[in-house]
Structure formats: C-alpha cells, structure tokens
Amino acid sequence: MREAEPRAAAPLVGLAAAILAATLDEPRVLTVPVAGQPEGRGEGLPAGPLEPAHPTLERGLRAWVERQTGQSLGYVEQLYTFGDRNRRPGGEGAGGKGNGGQHALSVAYLALVREARPAADSAWQSWYRYFPYEDRRAGRPPSLDALTARLEAWAEAAPNPEERRRRGDRIGLTFGAAGSGWNEERVLERYELLFEAGLVPEAGAPDSLAGQAMAVDHRRMLATALGRLRGKIKYRPVVFELMPPVFTLGQLQRVVEALSGILLHKQNFRRLVAQQGLVEETDAVTAETGGRPARLMRFRREVLLERPAPGLRLPSSRAG
C-alpha cells in the first residue's frame, strides 16, 4: 500500500498594525526595528505571531503593539490578509519567530491614535518618508517626473504591443496621466505598479527615489492603510480619532490636508464642515494660531446617529 505523502504544515498567522497619527502638518506611522532584514530594510510595523494565549486576532494584535511600543490602541479595523506564496515569517516584526520555510500569513490592521511618546525602540515617522510622491500639498512632487519617466520606459520595454498598451493604461490610471486626474486613494495601486516595474528598493531598485524601504511586505501594508484612510475620511468621521478634544477649524483643515496630500480651499472646506454638521463651537478661544483669536470646536458625536455616512467629501484632484 502506498504511503501517504506528508501534509504540509499549516501556515503561520502573523498580526501587523499600521498605527497612524497626525500632527498639524505631518501624518505619521509608528515603526519598530526589524532584525534579520537586508540593509536599508530594518524598519517595519509593530507585528508578531498569533499565539495560543490570544483569544482573538485583534486582542493578539493589541498585545503585540503594547509589548513593542507601549501604545494602547483605540480605533482598530482589519485591512487585509497578506499571504503571497513566497512570504516567510522570519523577521515578521520585532517579536516574530522564524520557522524555516513554512508559509506565513499576516493579518494587517489599521489603527488610529493620537500621537504619544513611543516606548522602547519604536519611533514615529512621517508616512511621506515611505511614499514621498503621495504628498502634493506643495504641487507636483519633484520625484514624480523621474518616476513617471522610468515607468514609461518600462512600458516601452514590454515584450509585445498588447502588454505595452496595458502598462501604459495602468500608468495613466494610477498616476493621473493622460487627463485622468490624480486619485489620492490609489496609494496601493501606485506602489504595486512601481514594484512590478522594479522601481522600489523591495523589488531591487538601486536607489530610494520611490521612498524608504520597509521590512518584509510592510510597505505594502502601509500603502493599503493609507489608501483606506484617505477613502474613509470622505464618508466616516474617522479624522476626529486623530484630533485633540478641542481644535480650531484651521487645525482640522491642516490635518485633513496632511492626510489626503492635497490642499483644500479654506472657505469651501469650512462650508463643507458646516453643511455636514460635524463640529460644534465651544465657549473657548485660542490665540495660538498667530492671528486673531480663533474659536475652539469639538466633534459632534450626535452626527453618528443622525445619518449613516457622515464624512468630509473632499473635492477630487484633477492635476497629473
């Protein structure tokens, strides 16, 4: 009788968190050092394996984050399960445990917090350190022209006309060429295209024109988180998870601009906030804005009960 072939080991399950915060002008992500990575890829997201003691995935994630960073999480939502066949658990976060060639899955989460002093070796970094071409507040980023030229050369090098056309269409759609306009939510699609074209360090690019590399596939996770947040602020009031209890309308606008990577018209933004009924005045004012005293506002939590999709419907950007 023929012996049964040994069954492959079940995939390991890892947990990773893209923990996002925002100062007035700088959106940030909490990172930790990751050992055992190639040179230049030692930064990563807080992560670790699901353990038998963890009653749920989310509680396991919270435990790893507190252990590695000292940060307690508030708002958390599951993003995506990453499980490419060549994914291996070695170096999966500061608390990861390698296991030879066993396949690894990682469940990524988006967490929103108010920035606090990180513990241990963790650090807050601008997320534009990893995606410099996503910040368009000062106009078209300088690196984008060079990246676009390299993408076009990659498209021209396609093995046949059909593939050349497919690549060109993708470049136009994701990077806003050919009049299609820039969609700030396509963070992951832009990163994936740059990866496929070999233009990011994780794919072997010799420079960091497309941003600082991260460990394993953590930059892909971060891109997923940024795109999700940019889309979500348009229909859910999640931006207030990043704001202090009271704030001025000017401070709120600067945070939204930092998150979306685009500048907003002041009066249109204030009109939009008023129409949505998202905030209410307090009795306090502040002179910290540098001009005339500004009224301090707070989030109106009643809006969550008044309609199903309260959010900031930002204008679309048509610039390439």
Of residues 92 and 232, more confidently modeled: 232
pLDDT in tens, 231-252: 999 989 999 999 999 999 999 9
Task: Look at residue 95 and tell me whether its pLDDT is greater than 50.
Answer: no
Task: Look at residue 299 and tell me whether its pLDDT is greater than 60.
Answer: yes
Torsion of CA 161, 166, 167, 169, to 10 degrees: 120
Give me the pLDDT at residue 100, please. Answer: 45
Task: Look at residue 90 and tell me whether its pLDDT is greater than 60.
Answer: no
pTM listed for this prediction? 0.88
Task: Look at residue 6 and tell me whether its pLDDT is greater than 90.
Answer: no
Give me the pLDDT at residue 99, please. Answer: 46
Average pLDDT, the chain: 87
Neighbours of 93 (CB within 10 A): 28
- How far apart, in Å, are the Cα atoms of 232 and each of 18, 229, 236, 311? 15, 5, 6, 8
| Structure tokens given for 87 | 């994914």
Residue ranges of domains in the chain: 12-129, 134-211, 235-306
Q: Is 263 exposed, middle or buried (0-12, 13-18, 19+ CB in 10 A)?
A: middle
CATH architecture group of domain 235-306: Orthogonal Bundle (1.10)
From start to end of the chain, where are the E strands? 12-22, 27-33, 43-44, 47-49, 75-82, 104-112, 123-126, 279-286, 294-299
**Predicted confidence band at 317 (pLDDT cuts at 50, 70, 90)?**
low
Q: What is the DSSP string of 225-266?
A: HHHHHHHHTTTS-GGGGSS-SSB-HHHHHHHHHHHHTS---H
Q: Comparing 12-129 with 235-306, is the CATH topology the same?
A: no
In CATH, what number does 12-129 get? 3.90.79.10
pLDDT in tens, 266-294: 999 999 898 889 999 999 998 776 667 88
Of residues 100 and 215, more confidently modeled: 215
Give me the pLDDT at residue 89, please. Answer: 46
Share of the chain above pLDDT 90, in %: 63
Give me the pLDDT at residue 5, please. Answer: 56
Which amino acid, residue 118?
Answer: P
Q: Is the dihedral of CA 62, 105, 236, 259 positive or negative?
A: positive
Contact between 115 and 28 (Cβ < 8 Å) = yes
Q: Is 283 exposed, middle or buried (0-12, 13-18, 19+ CB in 10 A)?
A: exposed
CA distance 181 to 172: 9
